Chains A and B, each alone.
Chain A
């Protein structure tokens, strides 16, 4: 009896160990690429260029970061990306939450119809050209509004807000209604303060989306002054290919020992774009989880 229990226990121990190792492999496969880019970005470019950065940085410098921000357009692009993320998210939060608040009101005429009208947008996909031409028609090409207006009302967020608002006890609002408070007042003073978790969930979704989106910039914005950080990196990637090609064919005399190599630029800019996400997401990951669960239940 004792021997049998011991055997069971040891089998379990082997499994636990193997399991931990397998999961650790998942972790390495996910994180190593980011780690690699990080150590490259803090390596001395000329050293790193020799290909000896694999597990540890080659030397240590923060010069890459300082230099990269001196490159034409990087600081501006960072500002544009941050601006679209923050302003776009505020607009999305207001529009989606207020629209959802309205459709929870029984006294809204055509309530069901309006809700469906908003939700169906989730399944509408006109395609690249109709989208492109429509945005042009509205004057959104080379316009900051392109980043913040089309994303204002999003069906998925409206659903999340509506589900949450419906769980708020009606009695909370009723007492304010008796005191003569209008819809706007009740929305700001009662509904919003009780909905912090869902506001945080949607805010994070929206911030990450905004920070990552680049196709609008790619297709409709030519102006340098409105370029986002993502597209800046894309242009560097394209240029790097070009530079590498040039170096190979020897048609240029770029000094290999110059402070900033194309690869170092690329690695550093990649890190600059990834940092905000790295910072924001582990802290608020639980909100994501809640968000998708709510969406999955009610969807």
Chain B
């Protein structure tokens, strides 16, 4: 064996560029949180040290008094909460799919139902607009059947939470089922054989072998979704937002965008404060959930 040093610094030199890239793209923006302590206005040159008047925790106090925040939080939590039912749909879907005897049909259904996951919200909005607008298919069919009046969905605040959650479920349920299908495929086949010999029918097999086999995965994914409850993302709401549903569709992520770029005030500092609190709460939730998972099943999620 050739004698060699423990470390080879050539490796370190090659790794540095990637670290710098990660630093510049992901860590440097975190330093931007400092703006929440100032009264920054767009146009000020940060590089020249122009960040506006120092206001301390003004924006955090402001947030507590902001009368929009309760409504925005309720919207965020409601849509996230109803979207959680997507996990249930995924499990049921996976259970039904494993019972299919024809391999071809199974594959066909699985492939087609994952498609919406790979489509951007712009396309989904375009699709939804074609179906649900006043001139869309749904209203065309209603009119053709002689129905009076139009079904209003896109601009009807009363159905917004349900509609947004259903869109989330439509987009994600098929994809969500994949992980359960894979878990089911990993269940020991001998368990099924043994139960069959004991005379168990398919319902019993599903309830006593398949479900226990995936229940842990279900719990873990559920916990992860709970920790992501504030992180609805913005794409969907940027597309579906309109004045008629504003009071029900403005979620935290959209609100950040609104106060920074859509209102007259261009309040970058306040938007930074809101975004920062959201990130911190989300990470805290993730660690809490992780700690719970560790206790429950002995190993961590992340």
Residues of A with Cβ closer than 8 Å to B? 8, 12, 15-16, 19-20, 22-24, 26-27, 29-31, 33-34, 36-37, 40, 51, 54, 95, 98-99, 102-103, 105, 107-110, 114, 117-118, 121, 123-131, 133-134, 137-138, 149-150, 152-153, 183, 208, 211-215, 218, 230-231, 233-234, 237, 244, 263, 266-267, 270, 273-274, 277-278, 281-282, 285, 288-289, 292-293, 296, 299
Contacts and interface: CB of A to CB of B under 8 A. Distances in A.
Contacts of A114: 15, 19
Contact of A118 (B22, B128, B178, B253): B22
Q: Which 10 A-B pairs have the closest CB atoms?
A: A127-B275, A130-B32, A126-B29, A121-B26, A212-B120, A99-B18, A130-B29, A108-B11, A107-B8, A33-B127
Contact of A138 (B24, B125, B235): B24
Interface stretch (B93-101, B156-164, B207-215): B93-101
Contact of A102 (B14, B271, B301): B14
Nearest to A213: B120
A274 B120 CA distance: 9
Contact of B122 (A15, A33, A237): A237
B11 A215 contact: no
Nearest to B234: A215
Give the dominant DSSP class at B's interface. helix
A287 B29 CA distance: 33
Contacts of B253: 128
B24 A23 contact: no
Contacts of B174: 26, 30
B127 A23 contact: no
Interface SS of chain A: helix, strand, loop or mixed? helix
B246 interface: no
A127 B178 contact: no
A213 B235 CA distance: 9
Given A109-B9, A278-B115, 17 more contacts: A15-B202, A23-B105, A30-B174, A37-B127, A37-B130, A98-B18, A107-B6, A126-B29, A126-B33, A153-B18, A208-B118, A214-B120, A215-B238, A230-B120, A233-B123, A263-B130, A274-B119
Interface residues on B, range: 35 or more
B85 interface: no
